[in-house]
Structure 1
Amino acid sequence: MSGTRERILELGEELVLTKGFNGFSYQDISTALGIKNAAIHYYFASKENLGTSIVKTNIQRFEEMIANMQALQFDPIKKIETFIKIYSKSHRERKLCIVGALSPDIETLFPTTQVEVTKMVDLILNWLVEVLTEGKKQGVFHFQEEEKQRAFQILSSLVASLQLARVNKYVDYKGYCYDLLDQLK
């Protein structure tokens, strides 16, 4: 991948996670990188292409994380802890996650970007259901709800808590996240 393309993609993602998709323009990227808008259009013909590429990149990272956990034979608790660390890192960096950054704007996103955001949410929820089911079968999780319902609660809590932590800066975010894990046991 071209160095310029990669820098545009990285800065675009940074802007999505800090300002939201509708909160930045190609001008913000070109100014920050010291390039012309035409250079951005060379790699990403439209903001739709950029947004869709950002989400696809996040999907790829998540799939790689899942594959790594499988290869390392993580148990269900370690898998959930690893997942929670994504959100803890986002909190430390004062960023939203890609789902939390794009979901509020879903109706104003381009159709291709909407499709990718939906894919990402489905991927995460399906993975969580698998991990929760595995944990129940192994006897390490003892929650009462259906796995699908609990997966939705976990993802919703993590996404929303990042948004609320921006407002209430005094929240013990890390403690909150690990309370979610304790509730599974």
Structure 2
Amino acid sequence: MKHFSELTASAERIVDAGEALIQRVGYNGFSYEDVAQMVGIRKPSIHHHFPTKIELGVVVAQRYTHRFRQALLHIEGTQARAPERLRAYAQLFETTYAENRRLCVCGMLGAESDSLPAEINAEVRRFFEINVAWLASVFAQGQEAGSFKPGVSAPDWAETILATLEGAMLVGRGLQSGRGPRQLMDMLLATLAT
């Protein structure tokens, strides 16, 4: 199985197309023919880089998770206080959603988890575990600093925040609404503030 760090420029274009398709129609909603049309190559060229769609799906999820982790590190390096970190976190989802109501790759894959291969589900689970752990840490720091109400479980709020942002994208797409994840984070922060 390939790792996203080993991609050639041609393979990277295929992964870009796979990511965009997952964000729009999900893993089960596209074929290698769709990828070939987006990239402007023939299907055998895709099979050369990714013999199976499973391998392509795993690499898309790996790369997406890696980029998200890099973004979390950037937030930590640029935002000192927990509320600002959470606003910056919500902005990651807002930026994705602002691109023609695209959804989080792992959110889309999570919605399809019952029909996905185990290898892809493992990558999706990893994405969510990383995010929940990071959010719980930020929330706990905010409680220690007095920014958030004490006595609220940080892990529970971490899952609530992640579910709210993922759900905001889905509901926003369904309602064809401009209201996005950032607005819902502002509402959550108002609820949590001391």
Question: TM-score, with normalisation over the residues of structure 1?
Answer: 0.93
Where do residues 133-148 of structure 1 align in structure 2 (5 Å cutoff)? 133-142=140-149, 144-148=151-155
Report Cα offsets for 1:85-107 as digits up to 9, x if no partner. 01111221111112321111101
2:112 alignment partner, SS class: helix
| 2-structure distance, mates of 1:140, 1:154 | 16
Question: Structure 1, unaligned stretches of length 5 or more?
Answer: none
- Superposed, which structure 2 residues align to 1:118-129 within 5 Å? 118-129=125-136
**2:186 is matched with which residue?**
178
Cα distance, 1:56 vs structure 2: 0.5
How many Å apart are 1:8 and its aligned residue? 0.5
Report the Cα offset of residue 144 of structure 1: 4.6
> Matches of 2:149 and 2:157 in 1, distance apart?
11
Which residue does 1:19 correspond to in 2?
25
8 Å Cα contact 2:164-2:184 kept in structure 1: no
Mapped partners of 1:143, 1:18: distance in 2: 39
User: 1:18 and 1:40 mapped to 2: Cα distance?
Assistant: 20
Number of the residue aligned with 1:46 = 52
Greater relative CO, 1 or 2 (CA 8 Å, sep 6+): 1
Establish whether residue 78 from structure 1 lines up as the match of residue 74 from structure 2.
no
Q: Given the alignment, which residue of 127, 130, 150 partners 2:137?
A: 130
Matched, 1:158 2:168: no
Q: Give 1:108 deviation, angstroms.
A: 1.2
Aligned amino acid, residue 18 of structure 1: R
Amino acid at match of 1:85: Q
Question: Residue 156 of structure 2 aligns with which residue?
Answer: 149
Q: Deviations over 1:3-59 (max 9, x none)?
A: 211111111000000111100001001112121111111111111111100111011
Deviation at 1:142, TM superposition (A): 1.6
8 Å contact kept, 1:9–1:54: yes
Change (3 A) 1:115 1:170: closer
CA RMSD for the aligned pairs? 1.6
Aligned length in residues: 185
1:8 alignment counterpart:
14
From 102, 113, 122, give the equivalent of 1:106. 113
Q: TM-score under structure 2 normalisation?
A: 0.89
Q: Which amino acid aligns with 1:139?
A: G
Q: Is the contact between residue 17 and residue 96 of structure 1 (CA under 8 Å) also seen in structure 2?
A: yes
Closer, same or farther in 2 for the Cα pair 1:178/1:73, shift >3 Å? closer
